[in-house]
Amino acid sequence: MLRILGRKTSSNVQKVLWLCTELDLPYAREDIGGPYGRNKDPEYLALNPNGLVPTVDDDGFVLWESHAIMRYLAAKHGAEALWPADLKARADIDRWMDWGATVAGPAITPMFLQIVRTPKPDQDPKVIAASQQKTAEALTLLDQHLAGRKYIAGDSFTLADIPTGIQAFRWFWFPIERPDLPNVKAWYERLGERAGYRQHVMNPLV
């Protein structure tokens, strides 16, 4: 059975858990990282020298980096609808997966750290405002891209939706003013119909 090492509150762990639900793939998960620690223990570092989560152990094959894990699982378990064999379709999905990690994620992370991880008296409104602006800009780009599409890579759900889908929940959960982005909102609502999203992502952040 697939073994997933990482706390369920980590966005990167949530990517893998959500995908496992989409694949109907059984797994066993262990709490590591954050308040649970153990991610700097020698035993864990022997598996993942970065000391980050998640790490998976698939019958002795150890893999880290959430996007590599998702691609591996989709390929192994025949989910071509999620990560097609067609190279152009696959590259488009890869592009948006990486966009979620390099643009949407970094844009919203400072706001997450301030609102969720920092006591209110210590929060910096300037940091929140700057992160809010950058996230709005990123999601405006996504809103334009989603015009005429149900999901990021077309009319079907794929791996492309998972990284930014997790950030979208945070965006709509935060007590902030948001620009009117109807395509992003409709996409977010479609994600909310998926069991894996509801189970692993749509949970209170504090």
CATH number for the domain harbouring residue 27: 3.40.30.10
Rounded to the nearest 5 degrees, what angle is found at the Cα of 15, between the Cα atoms of 154 and 86?
40
Instruction: For the sheet with 27-30, list strands across it.
Output: 27-30, 2-5, 55-58, 61-64
Q: How confident is the model at residue 168 (pLDDT cuts 50, 70, 90)?
A: very high
In 3D, which of 18, 91, 2 has the Cα closest to residue 55? 2
In the predicted model, what is the mean pLDDT of the chain?
A: 97
* Residue where one domain finishes, among candidates 18, 46, 76: 76
Indicate if 93 and 44 belong to the same structural domain.
Answer: no
Question: Can you give the pLDDT at residue 196?
Answer: 98
Indicate if 94 and 143 belong to the same structural domain.
Answer: yes
How confident is the model over 15-72, as pLDDT tens digits? 999 999 999 999 999 999 999 999 999 999 999 999 999 999 999 999 999 999 999 9
* Residue where one domain finishes, among candidates 76, 109, 141: 76
Question: Can you give the pLDDT at residue 28?
Answer: 98
Indicate if 59 and 157 belong to the same structural domain.
Answer: no
Q: Side chain identity at 60, as an amino acid letter?
A: G
Q: Mean per-residue pLDDT for 160-172?
A: 98
The total domain count for the chain is 2
How confident is the model over 115-157, as pLDDT tens digits? 999 999 999 999 999 999 999 999 999 999 999 999 999 999 9
Upstream peptide bond of 175 is cis (omega within 30 degrees of 0): no
Q: Mean per-residue pLDDT for 80-96?
A: 97
Indicate if 99 and 164 belong to the same structural domain.
Answer: yes
Question: Can you give the pLDDT at residue 206?
Answer: 72
